[in-house]
C-alpha cells in the first residue's frame, strides 16, 4: 500500500471533498468506458466479493468494473464458503485480506462488516448491510448531478435541494440521511407508522437535514427528486404480509409525482415491484432515471475502488 488503509463502510467514511473528487473521476471513467478506451489502473489487483444476500446489480457492477480496471475478482457466498459453516468473520477477514487487494461485502448487521474491516489488511467496501447502502447513494447522487449538468463544483447542484423518501425507514433511507447531513440537502421522509427512520443509526450531526411527513403526498410537494425502495428488504421476509398492509398508501404514483417539481426525477435502487412501492407509469415514465442509476453503480464504484487502492490520480 502506498497510502493509509481506508475502508468504505458507510456514507460518512468519506468527506464531501472526497465525494467531489470521486464524482469528477467517475465522469471521466464513464466517458472512457463509453469510448472503449482502456483504463487499467488496477492491473493485477484482486477484488474479493462476499455475498451473504442475493444481488444482481452489485455483483455485475463490481465484477465487470474490476475487470475493466484490469483486475480480477473472487466471488464468495455464504453457501459456498466456510462463512456458512460458522468460521468467525474475524478469521475470514484475516485470511481473505492476505490473498486479495480489496474486499466488497454484502451482509446483514453493520457490526459484521465493521468486524471484518477491523481484521482486514486491505480496504473493505459496504455492498449493502441492514443499516446502509452507501455505494447506491453514491450512484444516485452522481446520477442526479449528471441529469442537472456537472456544475463548476460537482456538489453545488445538490445544495438546498429536496429529496422525498416514500416508504420504509430502511438502509437506503438511513444512507440518504447521512448524505443530506454531509452535502447540504434535505430529505422529506414519509413512512408508515412503525417503520420510521432512526436518526441514531445514521448518526446525524444536524437533525435539520430531514423532515418527517405522515402523508407521502406532502413529502413529495416541491421535491427535486422522489425516491422509494421495496416494502420488504432482504432479511425481513417474515414481515412481508404485515408490510403489504401497512405500506398500501406508500406507492409512488403519478399523483405524487405531480406535486413534486415539474422537472423532478424519480429514482429506485432496484429491484422494483411495480404496483407496490411504485406504479408502472412512474418507473417506466419520462421522469424515471432508474436505468442510469443502475449503470452508474459501476462507474462510481470503479472510481471508489481506484481511490481506496491508489488515492487521488
Active-site residue numbers? 106, 133, 136, 229, 269, 297
Cell numbers for 279, please give them: 406504479
- Binds ligand NVA (CB under 6 A): choice among 64, 150, 217, 234: 234
Whole-number Å distance between alpha carbons of 38 and 296: 18
The site map against ligand CP for 19-58 (x = CB under 6 A) is: ------------------------------------xxxx
Distance separating alpha carbons of residues 246 and 18, to the nearest angstrom: 39
Q: Minimum distance from CB of 75 to ligand NVA (Å)?
A: 18
Mark 54-83 with x for binding to ligand CP (rule: CB under 6 A) and - for no binding: -xxxx-------------------------
Counting residues that bind ligand CP (by CB under 6 A) gives 8
Q: How far is the CB of 229 from ligand NVA (least distance, A)?
A: 5
Q: Which residues pair with 242 in a beta bridge?
A: none
Residues paired with 8 in a beta bridge = 125
CB 166 within 8 A of CB 190: yes
Is residue 135 near ligand NVA by the rule CB under 6 A?
A: no
Q: CB of residue 162 vs ligand CP: minimum separation in angstroms?
A: 23
> Site for ligand NVA (CB under 6 A): how many residues?
9
What is the C-alpha separation between 115 and 10, in angstroms, rounded? 14
Retrieve residue 216's grid coordinates: 407521502
CB of 285 to ligand CP, least distance (A): 20
Q: For residues 29 and 230, which CB has a smaller minimum distance to ligand NVA in the complex? A: 230
3-class SS letters over 151-168: CCCCCHHHCCCEEEEECC
Helix, coil or strand: residue 140? helix
Q: In this structure, is the dihedral angle defined by the CA atoms of residues 222, 11, 101 and 116, taken in order, positive or negative? A: negative
270 binds ligand CP (CB under 6 A): yes
Name the grid cell of 6: 481506508
13 binds ligand CP (CB under 6 A): no
Q: Hey, how many other C-beta atoms are within 10 angstroms of the C-beta on 285?
A: 13
Place of cell 466488497: 104
- Is residue 228 involved in binding ligand CP (CB under 6 A)? no
Q: Which residues bind ligand NVA (CB under 6 A)?
A: 128, 170-172, 229-230, 233-234, 269
Q: Which residues bind ligand CP (CB under 6 A)?
A: 55-58, 128, 136, 269-270
Amino acid at each position: 500500500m502506498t497510502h493509509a488503509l481506508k475502508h468504505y463502510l458507510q456514507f460518512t467514511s468519506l468527506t464531501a471533498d472526497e465525494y467531489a473528487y470521486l464524482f469528477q473521476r467517475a465522469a471521466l471513467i464513464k466517458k472512457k468506458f463509453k469510448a472503449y478506451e482502456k483504463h487499467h489502473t488496477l492491473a493485477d489487483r484482486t477484488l474479493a466479493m462476499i455475498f451473504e444476500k442475493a444481488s444482481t446489480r452489485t455483483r455485475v457492477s463490481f465484477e465487470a468494473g474490476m475487470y475493466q480496471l484490469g483486475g480480477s475478482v473472487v466471488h464468495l457466498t455464504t453457501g459456498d464458503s466456510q462463512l456458512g459453516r460458522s468460521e468467525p468473520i474475524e478469521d475470514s477477514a484475516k485470511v481473505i485480506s492476505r490473498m486479495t487487494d480489496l474486499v466488497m461485502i454484502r451482509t446483514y448487521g453493520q457490526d459484521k462488516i465493521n468486524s471484518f474491516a477491523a481484521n482486514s489488511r486491505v480496504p473493505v467496501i459496504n455492498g449493502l448491510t441492514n443499516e446502509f447502502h452507501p455505494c447506491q447513494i453514491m450512484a444516485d447522487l452522481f446520477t442526479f448531478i449528471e441529469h442537472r449538468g456537472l456544475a463548476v463544483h460537482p456538489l453545488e447542484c445538490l445544495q438546498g435541494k429536496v429529496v422525498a423518501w416514500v416508504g420504509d425507514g430502511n438502509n437506503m433511507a438511513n444512507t440518504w440521511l447521512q448524505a443530506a447531513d454531509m452535502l447540504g440537502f434535505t430529505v422529506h421522509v414519509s413512512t408508515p407508522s412503525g417503520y420510521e427512520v432512526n436518526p441514531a443509526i445514521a448518526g446525524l450531526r444536524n437533525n435539520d437535514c430531514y423532515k418527517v411527513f405522515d402523508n407521502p403526498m406532502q413529502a413529495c410537494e416541491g421535491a427535486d427528486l422522489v425516491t422509494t425502495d421495496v416494502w420488504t428488504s432482504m432479511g425481513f421476509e417474515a414481515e412481508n404480509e404485515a408490510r403489504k398492509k401497512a405500506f398500501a398508501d406508500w406507492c409512488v404514483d403519478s399523483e405524487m409525482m405531480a406535486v413534486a417539481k415539474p422537472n423532478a426525477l424519480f429514482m429506485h435502487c432496484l429491484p422494483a415491484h411495480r404496483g407496490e412501492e411504485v406504479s408502472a407509469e412512474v418507473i417506466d415514465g419520462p421522469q424515471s432515471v432508474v436505468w442510469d442509476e443502475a449503470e452508474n453503480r459501476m462507474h462510481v464504484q470503479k472510481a471508489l475502488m481506484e481511490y481506496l487502492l491508489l488515492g487521488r490520480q
